[in-house]
Amino acid sequence: MRNQREDALLVLEDGYVLAGQAYAAEGRTVGEIVFATAMTGYQETVTDPSYHRQIVTMTAPHIGNTGANDEDPESTRIWVAGLVVREPARRASSWRSTGGFEDELREQGVVGICHLDTRALTRHLRDRGVMRAGIFSGSALPAGAMGLDASAIGVLVDLVRQAPAMSGAALAGEVSTQERYVVEPTGEFAGKEPLAEIVAVDLGIKARTPAQLAERGARVHVVPQHTTLAEIVALEPDGVFFSNGPGDPGSADHEIEVLRGVLAQGLPFFGICFGNQLLGRALGYGTYKLDYGHRGVNQPVLDRATGKVEITAHNHGFAVDAPVGEESVAPYDDGRFGRVEVSHVSLNDGVVEGLRALDIPAFSVQYHPEAAAGPHDAAHLFDRFLELVTARRQARSQTTGEDA
């Protein structure tokens, strides 16, 4: 209940302050504050490793009414640095819930704040851009802070400004699995010889991604972020996948080196979100930080090849800087990887949402076709990847037969 909660403050690095009440765990947390426009799927949101070191503001006004369960998490833990909600649910009312959402957050030590104007906060972030912020409650509040005493607020602002910025942050290694594991084919393919062997590099992978490939008959070898090209090749993959993940793609030098090796070997490649940004860099294009990013499950994207508009799930604060409207030669190594086209664009702001190499088997999208939670408009991209993989596998088989 509202009157049973402790006081709390949300403090942004530019001095913007909102008062509210403690939500989930009490204490102090800092990180980059962002907003997510999804009206559902909040359990999937907080367990998405791409939100590592970010305080997420839920723009939907009522959060927690479907509770928490053991089926929807996208990873083994909650990754958000903090959570901002307007109205927390008093109880879970879904038949699928096994507990309360706030209880789960509290058990994992996630500091949050509620009963504040999330609409005003979102408008502020849209005007000023995402920035560092902190949530403070309980013993983390200095004397006079709730009365907005200037010296007390100054102390909190200083703490926020000491937090590391997202630009330049290399975070994929912090969220990646440390041990390789295998996801076997499922559904009608369970127990059968896999249609393809896929290596998925975990840069913050969501559980639904290898599941999508396994449902299509692939055996998926999920490998850590630090995996080398030699280790990938040793698994004899038919294709390579780079996942979503947190941080600045400009810091991912190891991943870029590995990816260029994958492309040079002619292995079919598919990347999503962070993987899209890394493909852009591997091809020689630049990346840049968006003012406030795209986060939610309702983002309209134009497929330029078909003219179809897909409603897609997003979670990214960086984007690829590539020419839209006509194909270009990939700048890396004097055009070594050939021609590239921007395959998808955002209808909200024109941001590059996908790349397709025209002379090598590689493509990527900035959004999340696994869509958990979210629309399924883009799930066909996993079929497209498997088609590339199958075509290469068949070509190799025919070549081997001719040589024999």
Q: CA dihedral in degrees (386, 387, 392, 397; nearest 10)?
A: 90
Active site residue 114: no
Q: Would you say 245 is a known binding-site residue? A: yes
Q: Would you say 270 is a known binding-site residue? A: no
CA 140 from chain centre, in angstroms, equals 30
Distance CA 88, CA 137 (A): 17
Q: Which residue has the tokens 């851009």?
A: 129
Distance CA 134, CA 156 (A): 8
- In DSSP terms, 196 is beta-bridged to 218
Active site residue 6: no
Q: Would you say 173 is a known binding-site residue? A: no
Indicate the SS3 state at residue 102.
Answer: helix
Q: Would you say 50 is a known binding-site residue? A: yes
3-state helix, strand, coil in the chain (%, to 5): 30, 30, 40
Distance CA 261, CA 342 (A): 22
Helix axes 380-403, 208-215, angle to 10 degrees: 50
Distance CA 238, CA 236 (A): 7
Indicate the SS3 state at residue 6.
Answer: coil
Strand ranges (E), 347-400: 352-357, 362-365
Measured at the CA of 39, the angle between CA 4 and CA 43, to 5 degrees, comes to 65
- Active-site residue among 32, 44, 273, 341? 273
Cα–Cα distances (Å) from 33 to 6, 29, 82, 112, in that order, read 22, 11, 9, 12
Q: Are 332 and 280 in contact (CB under 8 A)?
A: no
Phi-psi region of 129 (alpha: psi -120 to 50; beta: other; left: phi over 0): left
Cα–Cα distances (Å) from 272 to 72, 153, 240, 269, 391, in that order, read 20, 40, 12, 10, 21
- Active-site residue among 115, 314, 316, 368? 368
Q: Is the peptide bond before 373 cis (omega within 30 degrees of 0)?
A: yes
Q: Would you say 247 is a known binding-site residue? A: yes
Q: Would you say 318 is a known binding-site residue? A: yes
Active site residue 184: no
Other CB atoms within a 10 A radius of the CB of residue 160 amount to 22
* Exposure on the CB side of residue 101, measured as CA atoms within 13 A: 29
- Active-site residue among 13, 32, 44, 370? 370
**Catalytically annotated residues:** 273, 368, 370
Summarize the annotated binding site as residue ranges. Answer: 50, 245, 247, 274, 277, 315, 317-318
Summarize the annotated binding site for L-glutamine as residue ranges. Answer: 50, 245, 247, 274, 277, 315, 317-318
